[in-house]
Structure 1
Amino acid sequence: MSRAWHLISGEYPPAPGGVSDHSRSIAHALLNAGKTVHVWTPGAEGVTDDQGVTVHRGPGLFTPPGLVRLTRELDATPGPRRLLLQYVPHAFGMKAMNVPFCAWFAARRHDERELFLHEAVYPWSPGAPWKHQVLAGVTRVMLRTLALGVERAYVSIPTWAEYLPEPLRAQARWCPIPSPLPLDVQEEAVRTVRDALGGGPTVAHFGTYGGAIAGPLEAVLVPLLQRDERRQALLLGRGSQGWCEALGRRHPALARRLHARDGLAPEAVAAHLRAAELLLQPYPDGVSARRSSAMGGLGLGLPIITNTGLLSEPLWRELLPVALADEASPAALLALAEHLLEHEEERRTLGERAARVYREHFALEHTVAHLLRRGDTP
């Protein structure tokens, strides 16, 4: 008998977030492969149908009281079952230290269990405050607990496998996070966006504007706009409107060339990205396959400017699907942006290489093939 898939995730649409997008993409890909798919996630109580995927929601689902309900309702579904945990420590509550949930997952020995690590542990630093030291230690204990009896593990970046115990570490498969955006965009929609922007070269950013990224982004974007009055900035993603308004207050001379589009549907985000000449994506820990914002541009074949860092895989240097600085240095990123804005043919070539590398290494079908493959070795 074919096992039903049960995805356990801290996020699922309409809740925003990269794990939410990834969970839905995986759920529907498994459904399209002929599998029965359930999703268990926090939210308003109820069971709904998401185009064939059965979504079970409940408030406090992963708290100790919620686990009692989760056990009862999960056991009421027909077996055999395959549980796929979409793991990010902070997504399961209790300030990223939900040890009871990890123990519950480890105890589900009558179900086949698989683990997908979007993030593994909180980083440890000897000079960090004691609260961070505790969090780093607890998240390592949590991961070791989750790994007990797990059939297979998948990691969004190879670095996460280093935190798994053997033999699971050696067997873990690298499954990059695919683009959360559609790859096919109507040219009419792109032209409409360009007309609304008013002409001139456009530099875009797609993200959530957290402090670690917002600083380097501003340090590059402001001089880029100051050097050429034709240039426009297009800011996409959650938090873009607030950040855009704050940036305009700090630099009033640039305000009319700052365009924010917050809360767009994925199809609209894709059309806006395709309307830009460049995508500027600085990352404090480096570009990596867990960055869905980078994957969005890569899948659309955009020329992307970004940087390497601690979590960057070797592939980025080997295949060069992006214009790559050695670190999130504003000066290095600015130099790359200026060069590409002045060389249209190089932008075109870089975009074509981005789309090809995405298809060959990062597309969703590669992850789904790993999930559906049985009895093989990595």
Structure 2
Amino acid sequence: MGLIHIVTPEYPPTLGGVADYARHIAEALAAAGEDVHIWCPAGGQRPTGGGLHVHGTFEGFNRSDFARTDRELDGFPAPRRLFVQWVPHGYGRHSMNLSFCLWLRRRARQGDTVELMVHEPFLTFWEGTWRQTLVAAVHRVMTTVLLQAASRVWISIPAWERMWKPFALGRRVPFSWLPITSGLARPAEQDVCALRASLTAGRRPLVGHLGTYGRNVTSMLDVLVPEILRSSPDADVMLLGAGSNEYRSTLVQRDRALEGRLLAAGRLDEPALALHVAACDVLVQPYPDGISSRRTTAMAALRIGVPLVATRGYLTEPFWSETRVVRMHDVRRLADMANDVRDLLCDGDARARLAVAGRDLYARMFDVNLVVNALTQSKAGKAA
């Protein structure tokens, strides 16, 4: 049995994609016999037994937090293996917590093994205000420090390696892709049928969207949702996820004709969310940078087996086109997406083929056991 320490900026009951991922991976590792310790902000769930332990030692990711965490970590056998969930905005100080990076570097220099899981790399330059550009510069300093600490870097998509590797400054740090999994499992068919009956009287096709409704996505949904309802007059659209009720209200205020055909479920726990996703005939997911393997919403569609229509972009990996498990369109061709949704709603055989192909791809590339195997079989590289 191995011992692994997962450092994460969020953990349930806090809601968020990184929190869900950390919990899902931690539980899978514990089920595989690993001794797993979660180091997270205070207030996280505190399960006992079964090889899973939660330490809420962080409050602001500041100096006193580091001292408290040091005291507890030092009670474990050295060298400690730290599996750090990295999103630069997750560790406070307005996304510029250089001291957290320096703390990790100090732990590494004292003998601990630091492995990074890069969910998000850094902000890009010149795509916002002057402050965002300043933050982007600080992010690169933080990245350089992190790469001085890291024995291995796990990445959610290959593009992150191209972005990060120059900041290793010649230091040989191994980069490896690690799947982003979904914690949403396919629910029982009778439960899905019951929900559909309550939502649409079981008769109308249902198109879903799952997200958090940030401006980069809603700017596309503003066009896409009305176009889907126009081109598929017999269908309804259901919005899922945090912010869905508010976004529905915005759309209905603009066009009252949408009111009877536009549903919203709001924020749901995992079992309820899986049930609502499974109730959809098609999921439509416009991503500003294109579908990629870091998108947990896409992983949910694949695992549950819901046909997916999405955008392709500069972060879209080649395998999406090669496997054809997703219908993809350019981000500027939203009308084409709506037409594709219409065609799928009229073709049950095509939907069934996409559902089977999606579940098969998920099992081959993204199943949580693949993550467990990678983490338990890997030995941290000796960076030089």
Q: What is residue 243 of structure 2 aligned with on the other side?
A: 239
Contact 1:181 1:270 in 2 (8 A): yes
Contact 1:116-1:155 at 8 Å conserved across structures: yes
* Equivalent residue number for residue 195 of structure 1: 197
Q: Does 1:177 align with 2:176?
A: no
Q: Say whether the 8 Å CA contact 1:280–1:305 is kept in structure 2.
A: yes
2:321 to 293, 317, 320: 317
Moved more, 146-155 or 275-284: 146-155
Relative to structure 1, is the Cα distance of residues 248 and 359 closer, same or farther in structure 2, using a 3 angstrom cutoff?
same
* Deviating 4+ runs (over 4 angstroms): 45-48, 166-170
User: 3-state DSSP class of the match of 2:48?
Assistant: strand
Matched, 1:117 2:118: yes
Rounded Cα–Cα distance in structure 1 between residues aligned with 2:313 and 2:171? 26
Alignment of 1:35-54 (within 5 A): 35-44=34-43, 49=48, 52-54=51-53
CA displacement 1:114-139 (0-9 Å, x = unmatched): 110001111123x6532222111111
Compared with structure 1, are the counterparts of its residues 59 and 80 closer, same or farther at alpha carbon in structure 2 (3 Å cutoff)? Answer: closer
Contact 1:306 1:328 survives alignment (8 Å): no
d(CA) in 2 for partners of 1:154, 1:169 = 14
Normalising by structure 2, report the TM-score: 0.91
* Alignment-derived partner of residue 370 in structure 2: 366
Q: Is the 8 A contact 2:13 2:45 kept in 1?
A: no
After superposition, the Cα gap between the structure-2 partners of 1:274 and 1:98, relative to the gap in structure 1 and judged at 3 Å, is: same
Q: Distance in 2 between matches of 1:47 and 1:350?
A: 39
Number of the residue aligned with 1:208: 212
Write the deviation string for residues 53-82 of structure 1: whole angstroms up to 9, x where unpaired.
211114524122322222122223344421
Tell which deviates more after alignment, 201-210 or 50-59: 50-59
Relative distance call for 1:319 and 1:46 in structure 2 (3 A) is closer
3-state secondary structure, aligned to 1:107: helix
Q: TM-score, normalised by structure 1?
A: 0.93
- Secondary structure class of the residue paired with 1:37: strand
Q: Deviations over 1:230-258 (max 9, x none)?
A: 31111111111111122222221121222
Indicate if the aligned counterparts of 1:207 and 1:237 stay in contact, CA closer than 8 A. Answer: yes
The separation in 1 between residues aligned to 2:67 and 2:227, in whole angstroms, is 56
Q: CA deviation at 1:6?
A: 0.7
Secondary structure of residue in 2 paired with 1:336: helix
Q: How does 1:25-174 map to 2 (within 5 A)?
A: 25-44=24-43, 49=48, 52-58=51-57, 60-109=59-108, 110-125=111-126, 128-162=128-162, 163-164=164-165, 165=168, 171-174=174-177
Q: CA deviation at 1:98?
A: 0.4
Q: Residue 148 of structure 2: SS of its match in structure 1?
A: coil
**Could you say what secondary structure the match of 2:15 adopts?**
coil
**Could you say which residue in structure 2 is the equivalent of 1:331?**
335
Show the counterpart of 1:20.
19
Deviation at 1:176, TM superposition (A): 2.2
* Cα offsets for 1:331-359 (capped at 9, x unmatched): 22122212212222111111111111111
Identity of aligned residues (%): 35
Structure-1 separation of matches of 2:229 and 2:288:
23
User: Residue 252 of structure 1 aligns with which residue?
Assistant: 256
Matched residue SS, 1:57? strand
Secondary structure of the residue that 1:108 maps to in structure 2? helix
User: 223-232 or 22-31, which moves further after superposition?
Assistant: 223-232
Q: Write the distance in 1 (CA, Å) between the matches of 2:8 and 2:58.
A: 13
Deviations 1:102-123 (CA, angstroms, capped at 9, x unpaired): 0000111321211100011111
Per the TM alignment, residue 160 of structure 1 is displaced from its structure 2 partner at its CA by: 0.8
What is the CA–CA distance in structure 2 between the aligned matches of 1:78 and 1:95, rounded to whole Å?
34
Would you say the 8 A contact 1:231–1:257 is kept in 2?
yes
Contact 2:305–2:355, Cα closer than 8 Å, also in 1: yes
Provide closer, same or farther for how the CA distance between residues 104 and 375 of structure 1 changes in structure 2, counting only shifts above 3 A. closer
CA drift at 1:47: 5.9
Higher mean Cα deviation, 10-19 or 254-263?
Answer: 254-263
- State yes or no: 1:301 paired with 2:305: yes
Once the two structures are superposed, the pairs formed by residues 337-348 of structure 1 within 5 Å of their partners are 337-348=341-352
List runs of 5+ in structure 1 lacking aligned partners: none
- Count of residues in correspondence between the two structures: 374
Give ranges in structure 2 of 5+ residues lacking alignment: none
Residues 286, 328 of structure 1: 8 Å contact kept: no
Q: Which residue in 2 is equivalent to 1:11?
A: 10
| Aligned 8 A contact 2:13 2:43 in 1 | no
Distance 1:62 1:306 in 2: 37
Shift of residue 178, structure 1, vs aligned partner:
0.8
Describe the superposition over 1:143-167 as per-residue Cα deviations: whole angstroms up to 9, x where unpaired.
Answer: 1111214221110011111213277
* Larger mean Cα displacement after TM superposition, 322-331 or 55-64: 55-64
Letter of the 2:121 partner, please give it: A
Q: CA deviation at 1:51?
A: 5.8
**Conserved? CA contact 1:201–1:277, under 8 Å:** yes
CA contact (8 A) 1:8 1:41 kept: yes
Give the aligned partner of residue 218 of structure 1. Answer: 222
1:197/1:73 CA distance change after superposition, 3 Å: same
Asked if structure 2 preserves the Cα contact closer than 8 Å seen for 1:31 and 1:52, the reply is yes
**CA 1:302–1:45 in structure 2 vs 1: closer, same or farther (change >3 Å)?**
closer
Q: CA deviation at 1:228?
A: 4.1
| CA RMSD in angstroms, aligned pairs only | 2.1
Aligned partner letter, 1:278 = V
